[in-house]
Chains A and B, each alone.
Chain A
Amino acid sequence: GENVEQHPSTLSVQEGDSAVIKCTYSDSASNYFPWYKQELGKGPQLIIDIRSNVGEKKDQRIAVTLNKTAKHFSLHITETQPEDSAVYFCAASIDNYGQNFVFGPGTRLSVLP
């Protein structure tokens, strides 16, 4: 079955710097890759996603890149702010309809003022 690895497990950056989180997946049939952000005491919330027919997607300070050949995808956050501090999860779909995922183990991002 699908296996998703995520690195690093913790990341500390200075406010205003960029942060990059990387994930790899094992099943070449996966075709949908969402990223979720979990703030303290809350459930995860979708922040950006990408489908396999696209190499990059951007939404303001957040971008995701996908390399299908190498089976890895990355989250890029620019101009980090203290409110970006959270746990981030990548995921890869395991069905043909993008409704069921395997999640990575998570990255705890701390943005230092």
Chain B
Amino acid sequence: DVKVTQSSRYLVKRTGEKVFLECVQDMDHENMFWYRQDPGLGLRLIYFSYDVKMKEKGDIPEGYSVSREKKERFSLILESASTNQTSMYLCAWGGSSYNEQFFGPGTRLTVL
């Protein structure tokens, strides 16, 4: 089975803190994605990467950055967390064209 793991299931941080969310996939594939999920808004793409050291902005990149130093690891960074970044964050790995994206279980981040 393909596995996508996320570093934490629940995280509570304070406004202004730097937050790292890590995602690790156990397959040797290129495509990785970070989404945030909010009620009534579905899944919105923050950043994605098709290869090591490559990153592309999604629909809502403001306030976020990413790092992909190794193929299997894709990190989402909140440089200075704010309360409007309280959300569920989902990492996904995607295969080649027209194939499934495999999602991790998500990290519920609360920013106080």
Contact = CB atoms under 8 A, between A and B. Distances in A.
A43 B44 contact: no
Interface stretch (A14-22, A56-64, A65-73, A92-100): A92-100
Of the listed residues B43, B100, B106, the one surrounded by the most CB atoms of chain A closer than 10 A to its CB is: B43
Contacts of B35: 103
Given A46-B100, A105-B42, A106-B42, A99 B105 contact: no
Contact of A44 (B41, B59, B97, B103): B103
A43 B90 contact: yes
Interface string B75-111: 0000000000000001010101111111111100000
Interface in A24-44: 32, 34, 36, 41-44
Nearest to A43: B103
Given A100-B45, A106-B42, A43 B4 contact: yes
Contacts of B25: none
Given A98-B97, A99-B96, A106-B42, 5 more contacts: A43-B104, A44-B103, A45-B103, A49-B100, A98-B98
29 contacts: A1-B59, A4-B42, A6-B42, A32-B98, A34-B100, A36-B103, A41-B105, A43-B4, A43-B90, A43-B92, A43-B102, A43-B103, A43-B104, A44-B90, A44-B103, A49-B98, A98-B98, A98-B99, A99-B31, A99-B96, A99-B98, A100-B45, A100-B48, A102-B45, A102-B59, A103-B43, A103-B44, A105-B42, A106-B40
